[in-house]
Structure 1
């Protein structure tokens, strides 16, 4: 009788090893009991997929050859470390054989993404009229994020993506990365190849939906691919283009940062070059982890704030730092920017912007809003003023207008909150 060998199980968490080892790895995944299906919706896949409960969570198992299981496990891990939305790799299994020593494919195990659905399951439900457009838009954002970190997907499609509801939009996650390649940076040719594949695959996805009667026959499958192409290209231009500003148009830098934030991206680096003609701004956005801004702000300034408030303060700090002659009191002197480390720039920003604002608020107005929210409202008020007047508003001038025209007319939120206790 042929000698069989035990499968090799490689796990991220050692606590999972014993439970995974008890699964029937001697059987092809397609022959596993229906008990392992778990009743979860699955998308179309070239591979056999099953769901199992391990402890208090559900894992997805995809059958593939040993080499691809290891490769995709590694790729998903790197993408996760780069803060790209993706399923989380938990284990891979190699060296599988049947009871008669026949070789079996390997397997990749990933954590099931709570509240996520494949696109077919979404279309099986009652969706808003523009749901298809929003799914394609979410995929365009995901593809841009992947390309920013140097990932060539090679098989972009709705089928290889999971979607979660995000307010009135969707968030897209990579679920199948076996065809992908990681590079330091993608060429334009690689990005365009990914887009061509995406257009073809998405048209196929929508043809599949039509064949299943999940969308109207009048829907044009090719139009969905074109929408992704247009959405991606518009987003990529916003993320990567270089803009030039005059020395008195720092408010336009604020506008650029705001547009990027609205798209879900944050600045990785802000480079400003000054010459006789003006200022050139190079923006390199990146996605950051949750609460990144709160932690960074606390480290730099000692200010505790909510995440969105902190992001506003840090954006203002970065914009203030980019101003010509930013040396701590040399604004408007025409001097070239002096390279300051982040801690020194934060100290100057505190002294020149944050503290003057908070100190200028009269005692009878301090209960209007908490400090973090006061600063957010101040930045918004200053931005509207700058836009209307087409110029930067000096800090003290902006503070005076903010207090008189805006803050003094707000209700006292602190008192309002206290009144709810009774």
Structure 2
């Protein structure tokens, strides 16, 4: 296809030819089926479509030129700061039809593999416990964004993508159109984001309840309050003061250990004296998420979610205890990766490998092995548990790498209903 006259693309790095070859001369809703990837979309005020780009999938959103430029820059800055968010590919301007009619500019982002919009997570009746894990992931995302000075402005489940994370969820920002980055957020900015989040989350849960997609025991208002409580608890733990006497210096290690358990590293902290009662105050100064992720990456080279990393580190510790309790941790991690993790993942049939991320497969396999051992009253190895895990659990799951690329008609109908906000 010939590049359209007047078409403008802003991108970091080399612009792929496949991006130029997309049908930018057509309104997004009229793009042909051969370039469209059938993925579920969240609710959006804009027209959004997923398209193939070489061997990957991109999300294309029609918006205004100002909004596309702003969001592209916001996502690039957030990426440089290490924030959990989608990656921007390009902003596209100067779009016109063959007849010369102007078309809306577009923002192009890379599809986050194995991620789901919240309505796809709720494709079946959602239990209260699972919903609370989703809400906690949303609260953690907001804390992480606020820590780096990002004011969201439109916090909602709709503007978030979720990935499974060893029984929990990891949340990623997908819409930064209203966002702003500051050196530090004021209390008022954080509180405004909390107010918006509380209203939006309650409203989204009410919509889901009307569609019969949430357990009847769920109270949307109370759940939105639980989101606020989760956020405040995390924020206090990460930024609040710990008071201790000069002879209680062990409280410093305890505080840092609690933060590590939450998945954060403390790179700097302040200690100051309170003159009135001779106590000392400890306040974390530089807090960086991804404690277990970094440790696992250093040991094995595996890049996974935080809770997945925590679970795999536990599996490595168990392997080391059985094979060589006094051996070097790095050697044990390397041997576990080579002798346990990689061989087991390699035995997953090729057609099932898009069901879950490899680290999530390992997490679920470990759980399955435990349940199988309990059921049969004997110790069963991961190798022995793998065939029944594949047959009983993995085969019944959706493909979450891209959820569905060429789904059958009834699945397309279901996704269309989700995209229209129907139950």
TM over 0.5: yes
**Counterpart-to-counterpart distance in 2, 1:89 and 1:28:** 21
Shift of 1:61: 0.6
**Counterpart-to-counterpart distance in 1, 2:327 and 2:13:** 42
**Counterpart-to-counterpart distance in 2, 1:76 and 1:218:** 37
Given the superposition, is the C-alpha separation of residues 14 and 207 from structure 1 closer, same or farther in structure 2, using an over 3 Å criterion?
A: same
Shift of 1:80: 1.1
**Counterpart-to-counterpart distance in 1, 2:97 and 2:64:** 15
Shift of 1:58: 0.7
RMSD: 2.6
Deviation string, structure 1 residues 48-75 (Cα, Å, up to 9, x no partner): 1111111111111111111111110110
Contact 2:89 2:110 in 1 (8 A): yes
**Counterpart-to-counterpart distance in 2, 1:146 and 1:94:** 29
1:343 paired residue number: none
Q: 2:327 aligns with which of 365, 370, 392?
A: 370
Q: Secondary structure at the match of 2:74?
A: helix
2:49 paired residue number: 50
1:6 paired residue number: 6
Q: Secondary structure at the match of 1:261?
A: helix
Given the superposition, is the C-alpha separation of residues 174 and 367 from structure 1 closer, same or farther in structure 2, using an over 3 Å criterion?
A: closer
Deviation string, structure 1 residues 231-252 (Cα, Å, up to 9, x no partner): 1011111111112222332221
1:147 aligns with 2:104: no
Q: Larger deviation: 241-250 or 135-144?
A: 241-250
1:171 paired residue number: 170
Deviation string, structure 1 residues 379-398 (Cα, Å, up to 9, x no partner): xxxxxxxxxxxxxxxxxxxx
1:333 paired residue number: none
Matches within 5 A, 1:332-351: none
Q: Give TM-score scaled by structure 2 length.
A: 0.67
Shift of 1:219: 2.8
Given the superposition, is the C-alpha separation of residues 281 and 48 from structure 1 closer, same or farther in structure 2, using an over 3 Å criterion?
A: same
Matched positions, count: 305
Q: Secondary structure at the match of 1:249?
A: coil
**Counterpart-to-counterpart distance in 1, 2:223 and 2:101:** 44
Q: 1:286 aligns with which of 264, 285, 288?
A: 288
Contact 1:92 1:109 in 2 (8 A): yes
Contact 1:64 1:106 in 2 (8 A): yes
**Counterpart-to-counterpart distance in 2, 1:239 and 1:290:** 16
Shift of 1:91: 1.0
2:77 paired residue number: 78
Contact 2:126 2:213 in 1 (8 A): no
**Counterpart-to-counterpart distance in 2, 1:369 and 1:128:** 43
Contact 2:63 2:104 in 1 (8 A): yes
Matches within 5 A, 1:186-225: 186-225=185-224
Shift of 1:267: 1.1
Q: Which runs of 5+ in 1 are unaligned?
A: 296-303, 309-365, 375-422
Q: Secondary structure at the match of 2:50?
A: strand
Q: Which runs of 5+ in 2 are unaligned?
A: 303-322, 332-423
Contact 2:48 2:59 in 1 (8 A): yes
Given the superposition, is the C-alpha separation of residues 289 and 307 from structure 1 closer, same or farther in structure 2, using an over 3 Å criterion?
A: farther
Contact 2:203 2:220 in 1 (8 A): yes
1:132 paired residue number: 131
Contact 2:125 2:214 in 1 (8 A): no
Shift of 1:280: 2.6
Deviation string, structure 1 residues 109-146 (Cα, Å, up to 9, x no partner): 11111110011101103655411111111000000011
1:38 aligns with 2:40: no
Contact 2:243 2:280 in 1 (8 A): yes
Higher-Rg member (1/2): 1
Contact 1:83 1:289 in 2 (8 A): no
Q: Secondary structure at the match of 1:62?
A: strand
1:226 paired residue number: 225
Q: Secondary structure at the match of 1:215?
A: coil
Q: Larger deviation: 109-118 or 98-107?
A: 98-107
Contact 1:83 1:288 in 2 (8 A): no
Q: Give TM-score scaled by structure 1 length.
A: 0.67
**Counterpart-to-counterpart distance in 2, 1:265 and 1:367:** 29
Which protein, 1 or 2, shows the higher relative CO under an 8 Å CA cutoff with sep ≥ 6? 2
1:102 paired residue number: 101
**Counterpart-to-counterpart distance in 2, 1:157 and 1:22:** 34
Contact 1:156 1:194 in 2 (8 A): yes
**Counterpart-to-counterpart distance in 2, 1:155 and 1:271:** 33
Contact 2:128 2:215 in 1 (8 A): no
Shift of 1:211: 2.5
Contact 1:152 1:191 in 2 (8 A): yes
2:315 paired residue number: none
